[in-house]
Amino acid sequence: MGKKRIYELAKELNVSSKAILDKAQEKGFDVKNHMSSLGSNEERQLRETFSNKGSKTTTGNKNQSSQAKPAHSTQSAKPAQNHDHRQNTGSSQTAHNRSQSDSSNHSNGQNHANVSHSQSSNRNQSANHSQSTNRGQSNNRSQSSNNNRSQSNNNNRSQNSNHSQNNGNSNNANRGGSGRFGGSLNSGNGHNSRNNRNNRNNNRRRNNFAKKYSKKNQRIKETNHQKGAPERKNKALPDTLVYQVGMNAQDLGKILHREPAEIVKKLFMLGVMANQNQSLDKDTIEILAADYGIDAKEKVEVDVADIDKTFEEESKNTDHLESRPPVVTIMGHVDHGKTTLLDHLRHSHITAGEAGGITQAIGAYQVKHKSKTITFLDTPGHAAFTEMRARGADITDITILVVAADDGVMPQTIEAIHHAQAAKTPIIVAVNKIDKPGANPNHVMEQLTEYGLIPEDWGGDTIFVQISAKFGKNIDELLDMILLQSEVMELKANPQQHAAGSVIEAKLDQGKGSVATLLIQQGTMHTGDPIVVGNTFGKVRTMENENGKEIKKALPSTPVEITGLSDVPEAGDRFVVFDDEKTARAAGEERAKNALMEERRSKNTVTLDNLFDTMKEGEMKEVDVIIKADVQGSVEALANSLKKIEVEGVRVNIIHTAVGAINESDVTLAEASNAIIIGFNVRPTPQAKSQADQDNVDIRLHRVIYNAIDEIEHAMKGKLEPTYKEEVIGEVEVRDIFKASKVGTIAGGMVTDGHISRDSKVRLIRDSVVVYEGELGSLKRFKDDVNDVKQGHELGLTIENYNDIKVGDVIEAYVMKEIPIE
């Protein structure tokens, strides 16, 4: 049987999920929302709690009142968790009652020493009090400590149905006797004899459990009594202290619903000197929990900063899946009509009732068609699409490829196809401008077959729709096809969980601060949600839909514009809603710090230099390659040869080929797909070059096809030799010679140009002729070894394995530098 979720239990017990959730959190269970699952023990505890609640009216158990509202004293009661606790509780109650009924009972003395609990008895037994206190505590030290112990249990986790009557009575007595709320002390007396019997049995068990802490407890309680500690309105303790190592008294106080000072005091009594802010170790926390009479459980630390993981987990959640609208991106060649199509859709199919209400464009919008919703990303072009992918956000479900019927397949059409195919999104072809005189839709269809886009009529599986974006022809048919495709894809999300998704765009607004357009991919987002977005964090202060209308919640596939973030995130960043603001802040700050320390992109870019290692790590089965060349013939020749290379089951996968210079789009695609770009007789544009440098994209330029193939093959076999270039860094003029028997010839001189470093290579030049090349043996300033000597400074040096240095020689220092991409 699977674990029960909160909402399921709620349904079963016929109470609200929130009530269960609150109770579970109060008990310290690790649950986040109604979807959280419960362990069997946790489930049982909750069942007991709620079935007790349910029986309130019939049993008349007075426990319930302590359950229903916060306890008024340290005796605050909470339903017991297990058998042992019940026993403890029962006994403690009985011990208590006994003190009321039996004036000669030594426990009176102990009651006297006890905290407010004992006041209930004391009032009733004022006559007994002095007698009983005289009955030496020393005789009954262990007895009294047991009772103390049990009282602490009693205080914290008392009644259950088994002894509910007793408890009800004794509690009543406790409360009544406290003097704060009045009430009769006698109300419980009728059950005392039964309590006494229980008590005797249970005392024995208690003995063992409590022995360890008894003396300390006794001391604490005595101290409290002496001071006449006022009763505090403490909330009930949780049944389990769920802690993390390193928590301090303040943290624990929050979980235990106790003042930090009380925790510090307790620790002190347990022999641990710590202030409220000092971190505590595992043992101390566990002892503390035991002293409170509750279990302790270490919380497994989750890396809150790893929002990608959280995002993945949220995405994988298969509960409560409901259909969600498809997210569509429009791509195509320049001027083929992408913007016209987007505009047409935006104006003709916006949500009913909101017509004319468009106040702003937020990078995405939704259209209604046949009472279904479709989300369009309002950023036409594959560059934006691939940039998002490069940042890890695969948010597009369907790509609309717009091809003008009068122009046919053009370079950016092909790029768009490759970008969409690399992202593995299905393509619907919109053959546009069919109204134009020169339109030839069939020709477009024919051309596209070359790229694997074959119409259904011709035996393929690509949907083609012939449209006129300008005149709105067949737009409804296109929307039909989008809905059909999305139905096939069974796009689903769980609206019942925390929201998670991606940033579409973000900016800094002078008035509003950071403004981000987010696409919700999972869950439902609410205003006020604590959120981490990329490396920023905050709380969703305001949320608007694409028409600038304030909304309070947003479902999956909805684009929203939010404010309230600490900084401006980047397009493609992921966001995740957290349980609480503190964790969101911690995660956001951690992420910002990590981002500073580590350049995200340099981590996993594949270059020919690291190709072999990456392959060895088993991360790759295919080496993605983009080929750009001067003529189509070279593109094909190179592509065919590369495809034939096969090394250890890894093969070359050509994701894009084209004629022309290597452009920014190529680099973006390479980065998003972890591909290597090969340029044959072409060069990168300056922008592409700087983007490639920035993104660590490997561009290899060749003039001979054989070299290109050779290089890739060598890289795949791990035999690629890096190429180095010599760089002269400085010159030294030799002005003196010293001979030392142990070290050989020492040259004294001056750096006349640049500098010389300890690890530089040297070349000895005499009368413009190189007489020796080698390594430095030592480099000194006066008597000290140094790493570097700059121009204008004197030095002493030796050359490794070479002594024939003469005054007037010039020593050239140089280093070998790896050649960067041209």
Ligand X SMILES: Nc1nc2c(ncn2[C@@H]2O[C@H](COP(=O)(O)OP(=O)(O)OP(=O)(O)O)[C@@H](O)[C@H]2O)c(=O)[nH]1
**Residue ranges at the known binding site for GTP:** 332-339, 378-382, 432-435
Nearer to ligand X, 71 or 429 (CB): 429
DSSP 263-307: HHHHHHHTT----TTS---HHHHHHHHHHHT-EEEEPPP--TT-H
**759-763, Cβ contacts within 8 angstroms, sequence gap of 24 or more:** 759/815, 760/729, 760/730, 760/813, 760/814, 760/815, 761/813, 761/814, 761/815, 761/816, 762/799, 762/811, 762/812, 762/813, 762/814, 763/811, 763/812, 763/814
Binding-site annotation: residue ranges: 332-339, 378-382, 432-435
Nearer to ligand X, 432 or 536 (CB): 432
Q: Which is nearer to ligand X, 185 or 405 (CB)?
A: 405
- Contact criterion met (CB below 8 Å) for 5 and 37: yes
Binding site for ligand X (CB under 6 A): 332, 334-340, 380, 432-433, 435-436, 468-470
Residue 530 exposed, middle or buried by CB count within 10 Å (0-12, 13-18, 19+): buried
Judged by CB, which is closer to ligand X: 342, or 390? Answer: 342
| Minimum distance, C-beta of residue 346 to ligand X, in the bound complex (Å) | 12
Nearer to ligand X, 399 or 468 (CB): 468
Euclidean distance between CA atoms 244 and 650, whole angstroms: 45
Whole-number Å distance between alpha carbons of 400 and 242:
51
Nearest alpha-carbon partner for 331 in 453, 436, 439: 453
Whole-number Å distance between alpha carbons of 407 and 624: 30
Q: Which is nearer to ligand X, 286 or 435 (CB)?
A: 435
Count of beta carbons in the 10 Å neighbourhood of residue 459: 8
State the minimum distance, in angstroms, from the CB of residue 444 to ligand X: 13
**DSSP structure class, residue 26:** H
Shortest CB 441 distance to ligand X, Å: 12
Q: Shortest Cβ distance from residue 422 to ligand X (Å)? A: 20
The residue type at 440: N
337 vs 796, which CB is nearer to ligand X?
A: 337
**Considering beta carbons, is residue 129 or 336 the nearer one to ligand X?**
336
CB of 385 to ligand X, least distance (A): 13
> Which DSSP category does 686 fall into?
H
- Token pair of 134, please? 């005289």
Smallest distance, ligand X to C-beta of residue 416, A: 11
For the record, the structure tokens of 284 come out as 């101390």
Residue 339 CB, nearest approach to ligand X (Å): 3
Structure token pair of residue 430: 């919109």
Provide the 8-state DSSP code for 571. T
| Nearest distance in Å: CB 329, ligand X | 13
* 477/586 Cα distance (integer angstroms): 49
Contact of 63 with 79, CB cutoff 8 Å: yes
CB 664 within 8 A of CB 686: no
CB of 485 to ligand X, least distance (A): 21
Minimum CB separation from ligand X for residue 472, in Å? Answer: 9
CB of 475 to ligand X, least distance (A): 10
Find the Cα–Cα–Cα–Cα dihedral 601, 603, 607, 608, rounded to 10°.
Answer: 180
CB of 463 closer than 8 Å to CB of 415: no
Name the residue nearer to ligand X (CB basis): 325 or 337: 337
Copy the structure tokens of residue 397: 């479900």
**Nearer Cβ to ligand X, position 284 or 413?**
413
> Which is nearest to 60 in space by CA: 175, 131, 164, 138?
164
* Beta bridge partner(s), residue 5: 37
401 or 734: whose CB is closer to ligand X? 401
The whole-angstrom separation of Cα 92 and Cα 98 is 10
